[in-house]
Structure 1
Amino acid sequence: MTAAIPFDNSYVRLPSSFYARVLPAPAPRPQLVKLNRALAEELRIDPDTLATPEGIAALAGNVVPRGAEPIATAYAGHQFGHFVPRLGDGRAILLGEVIGRDGARRDLQLKGSGRTPFSRNGDGRAALGPVLREYLVSEAMAALGVPTTRALAAVTTGETVFRERALPGAVLARVAKSHIRVGTFQFFAARGEVENLRALADHVIARHYPEAAGAAEPYRALLEQIIGRQAGVVSQWLLVGFIHGVMNTDNMSIAGETIDYGPCAFMDAYDPATVFSSIDAHGRYAYGNQPAIAHWNLTRLAESLLPLLAGDGEAAVTIAQDEIGKFPRAFKDAYVAGVRAKLGLADMRDDDLGLAQDLLDRMSANRADFTLTFRGLCAAAQDDRADAELRVLFDDPRSYDEWAVRWRARLHVEGREAAARGAAMRRVNPALVPRNHLVEAAIEAAVDRQDFLVFEQVLEALMKPFEDGPSDPMFYGLPPAGPGYRTFCGT
Structure 2
Amino acid sequence: MTTFIPARRHAELGPDFFDPVRPADFPQTVLRHRDQRWAERIGLGELSEAEWLNHFGRFAPLPGSLPQPLALRYHGHQFRSYNSDLGDGRGFLFAQCVDPIDGRLLDFGTKGTGKTPWSRGGDGRLTLKGGVREVLATEMLEALGVYTSKSFSLVETGEALYRGDEPSPTRSAVLTRLSHSHIRIGTFQRLAYLEDTENLRRLVDYSIANYYPHLAGASDPAAALLEAVVQKVANLGAQWIAAGFVHGVLNTDNINITGESFDYGPWRFLPAYDPDFTAAYFDETGLYSFGRQPDTLAWNLTRLAECLVPLSSIDTLEPALNTVWPTFRTALPLAMLARLGLEPRSEDDNNAFVTALFGFLTASKAPYEQFFFDWRGGALSAQRAAQSPSTEFYASDAFRPVANALEAFAPTENVNLAHPYFARSNPRTMLIDDVEAIWAPIAENDDWSLFHQTLREIGEMREAYGVKI
TM-score normalised over the length of structure 1: 0.85
Mark the CA change 1:281 to 1:350 in structure 2 (over 3 Å): closer, same or farther.
Answer: same
The Cα offsets for residues 45-76 of structure 1, whole Å up to 9 and x where unpaired, read as: 24433x11x43133123644444321100000
The answer (yes or no) to whether the contact 2:185–2:304 under 8 Å persists in 1 is yes
The answer (yes or no) to whether the contact 2:55–2:62 under 8 Å persists in 1 is yes
The one-letter amino acid paired with 2:147 is: P
The answer (yes or no) to whether the contact 2:93–2:110 under 8 Å persists in 1 is yes
The answer (yes or no) to whether the contact 1:28–1:159 under 8 Å persists in 2 is yes
The Cα offsets for residues 122-152 of structure 1, whole Å up to 9 and x where unpaired, read as: 1100000110111121122223332111111
Q: Distance in 1 between matches of 2:376 and 2:179?
A: 33
Q: Distance in 2 between matches of 1:200 and 1:325?
A: 23
Residue 139 of structure 1 corresponds to 139
The Cα offsets for residues 93-127 of structure 1, whole Å up to 9 and x where unpaired, read as: 21121123222221112210100000002110000
Aligned pair 1:336/2:333, yes or no? yes
Paired residues in the alignment total: 452
The answer (yes or no) to whether the contact 1:342–1:425 under 8 Å persists in 2 is no
> 1:353 Cα deviation (Å)?
1.8
**Partner residue of 2:293 out of 290, 293, 311:** 290
The answer (yes or no) to whether the contact 1:91–1:116 under 8 Å persists in 2 is yes
Aligned pair 1:55/2:58, yes or no? no
The answer (yes or no) to whether the contact 2:25–2:58 under 8 Å persists in 1 is yes
The answer (yes or no) to whether the contact 1:270–1:364 under 8 Å persists in 2 is yes
Three-state SS of the structure 2 residue aligned to 1:188 is helix
**Partner residue of 1:362 out of 360, 363, 368:** 360
The Cα offsets for residues 291-322 of structure 1, whole Å up to 9 and x where unpaired, read as: 1111100000000111111xxxxxx1222221
Q: Distance in 1 between matches of 2:389 and 2:59?
A: 55
The answer (yes or no) to whether the contact 1:378–1:425 under 8 Å persists in 2 is no
The answer (yes or no) to whether the contact 1:212–1:219 under 8 Å persists in 2 is no
Q: Distance in 2 between matches of 1:386 and 1:64?
A: 51
Three-state SS of the structure 1 residue aligned to 2:157 is strand
The answer (yes or no) to whether the contact 2:115–2:122 under 8 Å persists in 1 is yes
Q: Distance in 1 between matches of 2:98 and 2:415?
A: 39
Mark the CA change 1:184 to 1:113 in structure 2 (over 3 Å): closer, same or farther.
Answer: same
Mark the CA change 1:160 to 1:62 in structure 2 (over 3 Å): closer, same or farther.
Answer: farther
Three-state SS of the structure 2 residue aligned to 1:382 is helix
Give 1:454-469 correspondences, 5 Å limit: 454-465=450-461
The Cα offsets for residues 6-32 of structure 1, whole Å up to 9 and x where unpaired, read as: 532011121212111100011111111
The answer (yes or no) to whether the contact 1:110–1:171 under 8 Å persists in 2 is yes
The answer (yes or no) to whether the contact 1:141–1:148 under 8 Å persists in 2 is yes
The one-letter amino acid paired with 1:353 is: N
The answer (yes or no) to whether the contact 1:433–1:465 under 8 Å persists in 2 is no
Residue 119 of structure 2 corresponds to 119
Residue 35 of structure 1 corresponds to 34
Give 1:150-161 correspondences, 5 Å limit: 150-161=150-161
Three-state SS of the structure 1 residue aligned to 2:177 is strand
Residue 481 of structure 1 corresponds to none
The Cα offsets for residues 215-260 of structure 1, whole Å up to 9 and x where unpaired, read as: 2222211111111111111111111111111111000011111111
Residue 217 of structure 1 corresponds to 220
Q: Distance in 2 between matches of 1:380 and 1:402?
A: 13
> Could you tell me the percent identity over the aligned residues?
32
> 1:397 Cα deviation (Å)?
4.3
Q: Distance in 2 between matches of 1:419 and 1:236?
A: 18
Q: Distance in 2 between matches of 1:346 and 1:265?
A: 28
Q: Distance in 2 between matches of 1:21 and 1:468?
A: 43
TM-score normalised over the length of structure 2: 0.89
> 1:364 Cα deviation (Å)?
2.0
The one-letter amino acid paired with 1:347 is: R
The answer (yes or no) to whether the contact 2:330–2:347 under 8 Å persists in 1 is no
Residue 375 of structure 2 corresponds to 377
Q: Distance in 1 between matches of 2:389 and 2:449?
A: 35
The one-letter amino acid paired with 1:355 is: F
The one-letter amino acid paired with 1:435 is: L
The one-letter amino acid paired with 2:146 is: V
Give 1:194-343 correspondences, 5 Å limit: 194-309=197-312, 316-342=313-339
Q: Provide structure 1 residue ranges, at least 5 long, that are not aligned to the other structure.
A: 310-315, 470-491
Mark the CA change 1:468 to 1:62 in structure 2 (over 3 Å): closer, same or farther.
Answer: closer
Mark the CA change 1:380 to 1:196 in structure 2 (over 3 Å): closer, same or farther.
Answer: closer
Deviates more, 1:288-297 or 1:352-361: 352-361
